[in-house]
Homo-oligomer: A and B are copies of this chain.
Amino acid sequence: MSPPGEPELVKHLRARAGRNSDVVLGIGDDAALLRVPPGQLLVVSTDTLVSGIHFPAHTAVADIGWKSIAVNLSDMAAMGAQPRWASLSLALPQLERSWIDAFLDGFLAAAQVYDVSLIGGDCTRAALPVISVTIHGLVPPEYALRRSGARVRDHLWLSGNTGAAAAGLMLVQSGADSSSAASQSALQRLQRPTPRVALGIALRDMATAALDISDGLLLDCQRMCGASGCAADIELSRLPISAALLELADGERCRAEEWALTGGDDYELLFAAVPEAESDLLALSQRMGLPLTRIGSFVAGDGQVQVLQDDGRQRQFARTGYDHTQ
């Protein structure tokens, strides 16, 4: 009796995964053994992607791999954590080596950029692809960024810009011509999001609260306000709208703004900081070559987020974002 398929797959995964020196034992046993340096908190987050919900069913497999770990890395960024280890659960209709290899091409490319080791997980069959990643990082206790730390008078900040992934999804769903530079960049944002890990670490002693925007700027801002026991006013004129996004919205600023505020899948950081931190944040932005924009302020209230136009009136939206439980 010789051992069948699974050990081959495990051996293959172990060979591809590599491992950093803090991985005492990686893929292949009942569990991984990891060395946590003293004086650091362990930071753990899980995100699951389901075909047809979190990515279009025909997404390139390597892009699914990239996104599966990128959305989890984004949670580490939102906590100010240094990501270290990821475990991966793959439930797939067929456990084909070619699919798994293409998936790993994207997954491990992102893992390498952010110096994360794949330490284990499992593979099983299911009617449609369900991919669950648990990511582990480290942060000194006093520096962990929570979503609950925003206070009235803090400024509300945004990294980069938002809306491109929503525009990209629209392109995929409509089957529209996507050869323009603006389209290509939107598709890239949808399929290969950039988690703001270095920014999260840099914000450890500058932000009072942070989260990453996965379900829409407004919805996630409401969540930060709810956790912090305050409300927020967003000044629409301060919201960064890229030229590419405006082009994809056929020049209709209103439509671009809706994507940027409610589209989701952005993986930018939304964070709070005391007003006195403004110059330091602008210097950080310059140093990192990453736009950081003050888009509003926290005010007294109970979780509400208002979007204010220049004329002082409030802009209303049909929905604030994407709730995966509904």
**Which residue on B lies nearest to A50, using beta carbons?**
B126
In the complex, chain B residues whose CB is within 8 Å of the CB of A78:
30-31
Number of copies of this kind of chain in the complex = 2
In the complex, chain B residues whose CB is within 8 Å of the CB of A249:
none
Decide if A324 touches B30 in the complex (CB within 8 Å): no
Cβ of A21 within 8 Å of any chain B Cβ, yes or no, is no
Decide if A323 touches B6 in the complex (CB within 8 Å): yes
Decide if B32 touches A326 in the complex (CB within 8 Å): no
**Which residue on B lies nearest to A75, using beta carbons?**
B30
**Which residue on B lies nearest to A214, using beta carbons?**
B30
Cβ of A29 within 8 Å of any chain B Cβ, yes or no, is yes
Within 8 A of B (CB), among A81-125: 81, 85, 87-89, 91, 95, 119-125
In the complex, chain B residues whose CB is within 8 Å of the CB of A34:
41-44
Decide if B3 touches A303 in the complex (CB within 8 Å): yes
Cβ of A291 within 8 Å of any chain B Cβ, yes or no, is no
In the complex, chain B residues whose CB is within 8 Å of the CB of A3:
219, 222-223, 226, 303
Decide if B25 touches A32 in the complex (CB within 8 Å): no
In the complex, chain B residues whose CB is within 8 Å of the CB of A4:
219, 320, 323, 326
Q: Contacts A3-B219, A4-B326, A325-B9; is A134 near B46 (CB within 8 Å)?
A: yes
- Report how far A87 CA is from B42 CA in the complex, Å: 13
Decide if B42 touches A33 in the complex (CB within 8 Å): yes
- Report how far A303 CA is from B30 CA in the complex, Å: 17
Cβ of A147 within 8 Å of any chain B Cβ, yes or no, is yes
Decide if B24 touches A41 in the complex (CB within 8 Å): yes
**Which residue on B lies nearest to A100, using beta carbons?**
B325
- Report how far A88 CA is from B132 CA in the complex, Å: 10
Q: With both chains docked as a complex, state the minimum distance between the C-beta of A288 and any C-beta of chain B, in angstroms.
A: 20
In the complex, chain B residues whose CB is within 8 Å of the CB of A148:
29
Decide if B24 touches A132 in the complex (CB within 8 Å): no
Decide if B29 touches A147 in the complex (CB within 8 Å): yes
Decide if B5 touches A125 in the complex (CB within 8 Å): no
Q: Contacts A1-B222, A91-B130, A223-B7; is A44 near B29 (CB within 8 Å)?
A: no
Q: With both chains docked as a complex, state the minimum distance between the C-beta of A271 and any C-beta of chain B, in angstroms.
A: 12
Cβ of A218 within 8 Å of any chain B Cβ, yes or no, is yes
Q: With both chains docked as a complex, state the minimum distance between the C-beta of A177 and any C-beta of chain B, in angstroms.
A: 31
What 0/1 pattern do residues 246 to 257 of A give for CB contact below 8 A with B? Answer: 000000000000
Within 8 A of B (CB), among A247-275: none
Binds B, one of A138-146, A154-162, A163-171: A138-146
Q: Offer 9 A-B interface pairs, CB within 8 angstroms, sorted by A.
A: A1-B218, A6-B215, A25-B146, A29-B211, A35-B41, A36-B36, A48-B124, A91-B132, A125-B324
